[in-house]
């Protein structure tokens, strides 16, 4: 399975948001035409959230309307803390109109465990990740073990409430704790999924699939790749070796 992300964020011109919106419409047509088991992930600031929330809502409604007609799920990605609340409000509005809509929550933000209550009340499909934006300590946990603890608590809380969780991590400790929760709750494979970034840790990906778990690969593409790539490298410098291997024509590292 896959989720497709058209790269781009924090745009400042309305015409840029229209170009991103139209590219998502083309992606949705391609998913339907090819019969892919795929959905889309949309960054709200790429469709205008930082310009005008009404613009972002209009663009998202256009995307969601098209997706609904094709039976494709749409997830709003979560960006830095300056737009957290606006993104949550936007997805709750969209969810009321388009049931097949979801969101991302970042475990390193201190607020996220509380935000999960609002998502559970809406029966929201939530992707739970650790988080990669650089945030101040007053709003974000900093210790590695603390973040893992928050991630695991969020997975436990969401799944225990009977909601669908997308468990997005390459961290084996997070995976192990999630698997323990899944086992304890005796969940079926269609009640959750794991998610991983394209090209990162294919061995862990195959191991999960071979153990009977569903896994969705996050596939980013597009011309506006620079900001995304820099953030990913800052988050995990080891990703650089995957890039280098591709450049010299080698396959992904195990």
Catalytic residues: 77, 127
Q: What is the CA radius of gyration of the chain?
A: 17
Q: Which of 26, 45, 135, 23 is nearest to 90 (CA)?
A: 45
**DSSP H helix total and E strand total for the chain:** 9, 8
Please say whether the beta carbons of 9 and 49 come within 8 A: no
Please say whether the beta carbons of 174 and 130 come within 8 A: yes
Residue 239 makes CB contacts below 8 A (sequence gap 6+) with 200, 232, 233
Please, which contacts does 225-229 make with residues 24 or more away whose CB atoms are closer than 8 Å?
A: 225/7, 227/9, 227/10, 228/7, 228/9
Residue 3 makes CB contacts below 8 A (sequence gap 6+) with 38, 39, 40, 41, 75, 195, 216, 217, 218, 219
Please say whether the beta carbons of 153 and 110 come within 8 A: no
């Amino acid at each position: 399975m896959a989720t497709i992300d058209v790269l781009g964020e924090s745009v400042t011109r309305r015409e840029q948001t229209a170009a991103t919106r139209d590219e998502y419409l083309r992606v949705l047509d391609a998913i339907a035409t090819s019969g892919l088991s795929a959905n889309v992930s949309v960054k709200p600031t790429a469709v205008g959230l930082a310009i005008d929330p009404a613009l972002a809502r209009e663009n998202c409604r256009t995307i969601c309307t098209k997706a609904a007609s094709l039976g494709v799920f749409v997830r709003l990605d979560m960006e830095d803390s300056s737009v957290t609340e606006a993104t949550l409000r936007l997805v709750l509005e969209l969810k009321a109109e388009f049931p097949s809509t979801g969101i991302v929550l970042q475990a390193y933000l201190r607020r996220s465990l509380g935000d999960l209550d609002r998502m559970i009340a809406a029966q929201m499909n939530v992707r739970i990740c650790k988080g990669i934006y650089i945030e101040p300590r007053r709003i974000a946990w900093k210790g590695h073990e603390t973040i893992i603890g928050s991630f695991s608590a969020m997975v436990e809380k969401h799944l225990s409430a009977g909601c669908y969780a997308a468990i997005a991590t390459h961290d084996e400790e997070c995976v192990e704790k999630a698997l323990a929760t899944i086992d304890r709750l005796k969940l079926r494979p269609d009640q959750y999924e794991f998610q991983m970034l394209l090209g990162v840790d294919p061995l862990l990906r195959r191991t999960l699939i071979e153990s009977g778990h569903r896994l969705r690969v996050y596939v980013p593409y597009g011309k506006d790749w620079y900001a995304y790539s820099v953030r990913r490298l800052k988050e995990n410098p080891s990703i650089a070796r995957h890039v280098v291997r591709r450049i010299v024509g080698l396959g992904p590292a195990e």
